[in-house]
Protein backbone atom coordinates (compact mmCIF):
# COMPACT_ATOMS: atom_id res chain seq x y z
CA UNK A 1 0.00 0.00 0.00
CA UNK A 2 2.61 2.52 1.08
CA UNK A 3 5.38 1.18 -1.18
CA UNK A 4 7.32 3.79 -3.06
CA UNK A 5 8.57 3.49 -6.60
CA UNK A 6 11.90 5.17 -7.24
CA UNK A 7 13.45 5.50 -10.69
CA UNK A 8 17.24 5.70 -10.82
CA UNK A 9 19.03 7.44 -13.69
CA UNK A 10 22.79 7.22 -13.96
CA UNK A 11 24.24 10.17 -15.82
CA UNK A 12 27.84 9.67 -16.89
CA UNK A 13 29.87 12.88 -16.98
CA UNK A 14 33.18 12.39 -18.73
CA UNK A 15 35.42 9.44 -17.77
CA UNK A 16 35.56 9.65 -14.04
CA UNK A 17 32.34 11.14 -12.89
CA UNK A 18 28.79 10.03 -12.84
CA UNK A 19 25.76 11.25 -10.97
CA UNK A 20 22.75 9.29 -9.94
CA UNK A 21 19.46 11.06 -10.22
CA UNK A 22 16.50 9.62 -8.37
CA UNK A 23 12.86 10.28 -9.18
CA UNK A 24 10.05 9.36 -6.87
CA UNK A 25 7.39 8.19 -9.34
CA UNK A 26 4.96 6.81 -6.74
CA UNK A 27 2.35 9.46 -7.52
CA UNK A 28 2.70 8.91 -11.24
CA UNK A 29 2.10 5.18 -10.79
CA UNK A 30 -0.95 5.83 -8.64
CA UNK A 31 -2.34 8.15 -11.31
CA UNK A 32 -1.67 5.52 -13.96
CA UNK A 33 -3.61 2.96 -12.00
CA UNK A 34 -6.53 5.38 -11.44
CA UNK A 35 -6.55 6.12 -15.17
CA UNK A 36 -6.54 2.39 -16.04
CA UNK A 37 -9.48 1.74 -13.67
CA UNK A 38 -11.34 4.66 -15.15
CA UNK A 39 -10.89 3.50 -18.75
CA UNK A 40 -11.95 -0.02 -17.75
CA UNK A 41 -15.08 1.36 -16.04
CA UNK A 42 -16.08 3.54 -18.99
CA UNK A 43 -15.58 0.66 -21.42
CA UNK A 44 -17.67 -1.61 -19.26
CA UNK A 45 -20.47 0.97 -18.92
CA UNK A 46 -20.62 1.47 -22.69
CA UNK A 47 -20.37 -2.17 -23.61
CA UNK A 48 -23.64 -3.27 -22.01
CA UNK A 49 -25.95 -0.87 -23.88
CA UNK A 50 -24.01 -1.40 -27.11
CA UNK A 51 -24.51 -5.16 -26.82
CA UNK A 52 -28.26 -4.70 -26.45
CA UNK A 53 -28.50 -2.32 -29.40
CA UNK A 54 -26.31 -4.52 -31.60
CA UNK A 55 -28.38 -7.56 -30.72
CA UNK A 56 -31.56 -5.93 -32.04
CA UNK A 57 -29.80 -4.67 -35.16
CA UNK A 58 -28.55 -8.21 -35.87
CA UNK A 59 -32.06 -9.49 -35.36
CA UNK A 60 -33.41 -6.97 -37.88
CA UNK A 61 -30.69 -7.77 -40.44
CA UNK A 62 -31.07 -11.54 -40.17
CA UNK A 63 -34.84 -11.41 -40.29
CA UNK A 64 -35.75 -13.39 -43.44
CA UNK A 65 -39.39 -12.63 -43.04
CA UNK A 66 -40.43 -10.77 -46.19
CA UNK A 67 -43.53 -9.45 -44.46
CA UNK A 68 -43.63 -6.58 -41.97
CA UNK A 69 -40.28 -6.04 -40.30
CA UNK A 70 -40.02 -8.15 -37.18
CA UNK A 71 -38.41 -5.39 -35.17
CA UNK A 72 -41.39 -3.85 -33.46
CA UNK A 73 -41.97 -0.67 -31.52
CA UNK A 74 -41.09 -2.33 -28.26
CA UNK A 75 -37.64 -3.29 -29.61
CA UNK A 76 -37.10 0.25 -30.79
CA UNK A 77 -38.13 1.52 -27.35
CA UNK A 78 -35.54 -0.76 -25.74
CA UNK A 79 -32.87 0.41 -28.17
CA UNK A 80 -33.78 4.01 -27.44
CA UNK A 81 -33.48 3.39 -23.70
CA UNK A 82 -29.96 2.02 -24.15
CA UNK A 83 -28.95 4.85 -26.50
CA UNK A 84 -30.23 7.35 -23.90
CA UNK A 85 -28.15 5.61 -21.28
CA UNK A 86 -25.03 6.04 -23.41
CA UNK A 87 -25.86 9.71 -24.02
CA UNK A 88 -26.23 10.35 -20.29
CA UNK A 89 -22.90 8.69 -19.63
CA UNK A 90 -21.08 10.63 -22.35
CA UNK A 91 -22.66 13.91 -21.16
CA UNK A 92 -21.61 13.25 -17.57
CA UNK A 93 -18.09 12.34 -18.70
CA UNK A 94 -17.81 15.59 -20.65
CA UNK A 95 -19.12 17.60 -17.69
CA UNK A 96 -16.63 15.92 -15.39
CA UNK A 97 -13.67 16.42 -17.71
CA UNK A 98 -14.52 20.13 -18.08
CA UNK A 99 -14.70 20.43 -14.29
CA UNK A 100 -11.32 18.80 -13.88
CA UNK A 101 -9.62 21.34 -16.13
CA UNK A 102 -7.61 23.68 -13.95
CA UNK A 103 -9.87 26.71 -13.87
CA UNK A 104 -12.72 28.05 -15.93
CA UNK A 105 -11.79 30.69 -18.49
CA UNK A 106 -14.63 32.99 -17.52
CA UNK A 107 -15.58 35.19 -14.61
CA UNK A 108 -18.00 33.91 -11.96
CA UNK A 109 -21.51 35.35 -12.12
CA UNK A 110 -24.26 36.12 -9.64
CA UNK A 111 -26.30 32.95 -9.23
CA UNK A 112 -29.85 33.49 -8.05
CA UNK A 113 -30.01 30.31 -5.96
CA UNK A 114 -33.63 30.80 -4.74
CA UNK A 115 -34.85 30.95 -8.36
CA UNK A 116 -32.65 27.99 -9.29
CA UNK A 117 -34.04 25.92 -6.41
CA UNK A 118 -37.61 26.67 -7.45
CA UNK A 119 -36.84 25.45 -10.97
CA UNK A 120 -34.96 22.36 -9.82
CA UNK A 121 -37.80 21.41 -7.47
CA UNK A 122 -40.19 21.66 -10.42
CA UNK A 123 -37.95 19.37 -12.49
CA UNK A 124 -37.68 17.00 -9.54
CA UNK A 125 -41.49 16.78 -9.41
CA UNK A 126 -41.49 15.96 -13.12
CA UNK A 127 -38.92 13.14 -12.72
CA UNK A 128 -40.74 11.83 -9.68
CA UNK A 129 -44.04 11.83 -11.55
CA UNK A 130 -45.87 12.84 -8.40
CA UNK A 131 -44.60 9.87 -6.40
CA UNK A 132 -42.74 12.06 -3.92
CA UNK A 133 -43.53 15.22 -2.05
CA UNK A 134 -40.86 17.79 -2.92
CA UNK A 135 -40.69 21.00 -0.88
CA UNK A 136 -38.31 23.92 -1.06
CA UNK A 137 -37.28 26.88 1.05
CA UNK A 138 -34.62 29.49 0.38
CA UNK A 139 -33.34 32.56 2.21
CA UNK A 140 -33.17 35.54 -0.13
CA UNK A 141 -29.51 35.81 -1.09
CA UNK A 142 -27.42 34.92 -4.13
CA UNK A 143 -24.09 33.18 -4.68
CA UNK A 144 -21.05 34.23 -6.66
CA UNK A 145 -20.22 31.23 -8.84
CA UNK A 146 -20.70 29.31 -12.05
CA UNK A 147 -24.38 28.98 -12.78
CA UNK A 148 -24.34 25.96 -15.12
CA UNK A 149 -22.14 23.99 -12.71
CA UNK A 150 -24.26 24.72 -9.64
CA UNK A 151 -27.41 23.89 -11.57
CA UNK A 152 -25.97 20.54 -12.62
CA UNK A 153 -24.87 19.80 -9.02
CA UNK A 154 -28.33 20.46 -7.49
CA UNK A 155 -29.95 18.59 -10.38
CA UNK A 156 -27.82 15.53 -9.60
CA UNK A 157 -28.64 15.65 -5.88
CA UNK A 158 -32.38 15.98 -6.52
CA UNK A 159 -32.33 13.18 -9.13
CA UNK A 160 -30.53 10.95 -6.60
CA UNK A 161 -33.04 11.80 -3.87
CA UNK A 162 -35.86 10.73 -6.21
CA UNK A 163 -33.95 7.63 -7.34
CA UNK A 164 -33.19 6.38 -3.82
CA UNK A 165 -36.44 7.28 -2.08
CA UNK A 166 -39.44 4.94 -2.31
CA UNK A 167 -42.76 6.40 -3.52
CA UNK A 168 -44.56 8.42 -0.88
CA UNK A 169 -41.29 9.81 0.45
CA UNK A 170 -40.47 13.43 1.16
CA UNK A 171 -37.62 15.43 -0.34
CA UNK A 172 -36.69 18.94 0.75
CA UNK A 173 -34.33 21.45 -0.84
CA UNK A 174 -33.10 24.32 1.35
CA UNK A 175 -30.73 27.28 0.99
CA UNK A 176 -29.55 29.07 4.11
CA UNK A 177 -26.63 30.61 5.96
CA UNK A 178 -24.97 28.67 8.75
CA UNK A 179 -22.25 30.30 10.89
CA UNK A 180 -19.46 28.87 8.71
CA UNK A 181 -21.00 28.17 5.32
CA UNK A 182 -23.69 28.99 2.80
CA UNK A 183 -25.57 25.72 2.67
CA UNK A 184 -27.64 24.17 -0.08
CA UNK A 185 -29.09 20.93 1.28
CA UNK A 186 -31.09 18.16 -0.38
CA UNK A 187 -32.68 15.91 2.22
CA UNK A 188 -34.69 12.75 1.66
CA UNK A 189 -36.30 10.09 3.83
CA UNK A 190 -35.30 7.30 1.46
CA UNK A 191 -33.23 4.11 1.69
CA UNK A 192 -30.17 5.77 3.26
CA UNK A 193 -26.55 4.63 3.09
CA UNK A 194 -24.62 2.47 5.56
CA UNK A 195 -21.63 4.28 7.15
CA UNK A 196 -19.02 2.00 5.57
CA UNK A 197 -20.01 3.18 2.07
CA UNK A 198 -19.88 6.90 2.81
CA UNK A 199 -16.14 7.55 2.30
CA UNK A 200 -16.11 6.26 -1.29
CA UNK A 201 -19.43 7.70 -2.46
CA UNK A 202 -17.96 10.56 -4.52
CA UNK A 203 -15.57 8.31 -6.45
CA UNK A 204 -16.33 7.99 -10.13
CA UNK A 205 -18.52 4.93 -10.82
CA UNK A 206 -18.80 3.99 -7.15
CA UNK A 207 -22.30 2.72 -6.37
CA UNK A 208 -23.74 1.04 -3.31
CA UNK A 209 -26.28 -0.95 -5.33
CA UNK A 210 -25.22 -1.24 -8.95
CA UNK A 211 -28.46 -2.58 -10.36
CA UNK A 212 -30.66 -0.06 -8.54
CA UNK A 213 -28.49 2.78 -9.83
CA UNK A 214 -28.46 1.52 -13.43
CA UNK A 215 -32.14 0.59 -13.53
CA UNK A 216 -33.08 4.07 -12.43
CA UNK A 217 -30.83 5.77 -14.98
CA UNK A 218 -27.80 6.54 -12.79
CA UNK A 219 -24.40 6.88 -14.46
CA UNK A 220 -22.38 6.52 -11.25
CA UNK A 221 -20.84 9.95 -11.92
CA UNK A 222 -23.36 12.27 -10.24
CA UNK A 223 -21.65 12.73 -6.89
CA UNK A 224 -18.20 12.99 -8.52
CA UNK A 225 -19.62 15.94 -10.49
CA UNK A 226 -21.08 17.51 -7.34
CA UNK A 227 -17.75 17.15 -5.54
CA UNK A 228 -15.81 18.81 -8.36
CA UNK A 229 -18.27 21.70 -8.59
CA UNK A 230 -17.69 22.32 -4.89
CA UNK A 231 -13.89 22.06 -5.15
CA UNK A 232 -14.11 24.68 -7.89
CA UNK A 233 -16.02 27.01 -5.53
CA UNK A 234 -13.80 26.41 -2.51
CA UNK A 235 -16.55 24.45 -0.79
CA UNK A 236 -17.31 20.96 0.59
CA UNK A 237 -19.89 18.25 0.19
CA UNK A 238 -21.24 17.05 3.55
CA UNK A 239 -23.05 13.71 3.55
CA UNK A 240 -25.19 12.51 6.45
CA UNK A 241 -27.15 9.31 6.16
CA UNK A 242 -28.78 6.53 8.08
CA UNK A 243 -29.93 3.29 6.46
CA UNK A 244 -33.72 3.10 6.32
CA UNK A 245 -34.08 6.71 7.55
CA UNK A 246 -32.74 8.82 4.70
CA UNK A 247 -29.88 11.04 3.60
CA UNK A 248 -28.91 14.70 3.55
CA UNK A 249 -26.40 15.97 1.00
CA UNK A 250 -25.25 19.50 1.85
CA UNK A 251 -23.26 21.63 -0.56
CA UNK A 252 -21.28 24.03 1.63
CA UNK A 253 -19.99 27.21 -0.01
CA UNK A 254 -17.62 29.76 1.59
CA UNK A 255 -19.50 32.70 3.11
CA UNK A 256 -17.39 35.12 1.01
CA UNK A 257 -19.39 33.99 -2.00
CA UNK A 258 -22.61 35.53 -0.66
CA UNK A 259 -24.13 38.17 -2.97
CA UNK A 260 -27.20 40.37 -2.44
CA UNK A 261 -30.43 39.58 -4.29
CA UNK A 262 -30.73 41.72 -7.41
CA UNK A 263 -32.88 44.83 -6.99
CA UNK A 264 -36.31 44.40 -8.44
CA UNK A 265 -36.42 46.92 -11.23
CA UNK A 266 -39.62 48.94 -10.93
CA UNK A 267 -41.25 50.78 -13.77
CA UNK A 268 -40.93 54.42 -13.06
CA UNK A 269 -42.47 57.41 -14.75
CA UNK A 270 -39.81 59.88 -13.83
**Shortest distance, CB of residue 235 to ligand ADP, whole angstroms?**
17
User: Which of 128, 219, 250, 252 lies at the binding interface for ligand ADP (CB under 6 A)?
Assistant: 219
- Give the nearer residue to ligand ADP in terms of CB position, either 163 or 232: 163
Pick the closest to residue 251 from 128, 111, 122, 132 (CA basis). 111
User: Which of 120, 128, 152, 247 lies at the binding interface for ligand ADP (CB under 6 A)?
Assistant: 247
Asked whether 135 and 74 are in contact (CB, 8 A), the reply is no
- Give the nearer residue to ligand ADP in terms of CB position, either 112 or 247: 247
Which of these ranges, 16-24, 54-62, 146-154, 186-194, lies near ligand ADP under the rule CB under 6 A? 186-194
What's the residue count for the chain?
270
Is residue 164 a contact point for ligand ADP (CB under 6 A)? yes
φ, ψ for residue 185, nearest 5 deg: -115, 140
Number of residues engaging ligand ADP in binding (CB under 6 A): 24
Pick the closest to residue 78 from 58, 99, 56, 100 (CA basis). 56
Q: Please tell me the number of Cα atoms within 13 Å of 137 on its side-chain side.
A: 5
- Give the nearer residue to ligand ADP in terms of CB position, either 142 or 162: 162
**Shortest distance, CB of residue 142 to ligand ADP, whole angstroms?**
26
Pick the closest to residue 159 from 252, 225, 64, 60 (CA basis). 225
* Beta strands in 131-205, from DSSP E residues, in sequence order: 133-138, 142-145, 170-177, 181-188
For binding to ligand ADP (CB under 6 A), which residues are involved?
A: 156, 160-161, 163-164, 188, 190-193, 201, 206-209, 213, 218-224, 247
Amino acid sequence: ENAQTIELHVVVLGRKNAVIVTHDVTDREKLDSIRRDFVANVSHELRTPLTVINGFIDLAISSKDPGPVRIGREHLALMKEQADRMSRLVNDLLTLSKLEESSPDRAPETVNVPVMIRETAKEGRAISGGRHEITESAEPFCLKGYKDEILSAIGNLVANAVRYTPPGGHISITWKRSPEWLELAVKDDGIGIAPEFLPRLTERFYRVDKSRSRDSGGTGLGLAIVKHVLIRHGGHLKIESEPGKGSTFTMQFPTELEMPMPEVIQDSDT
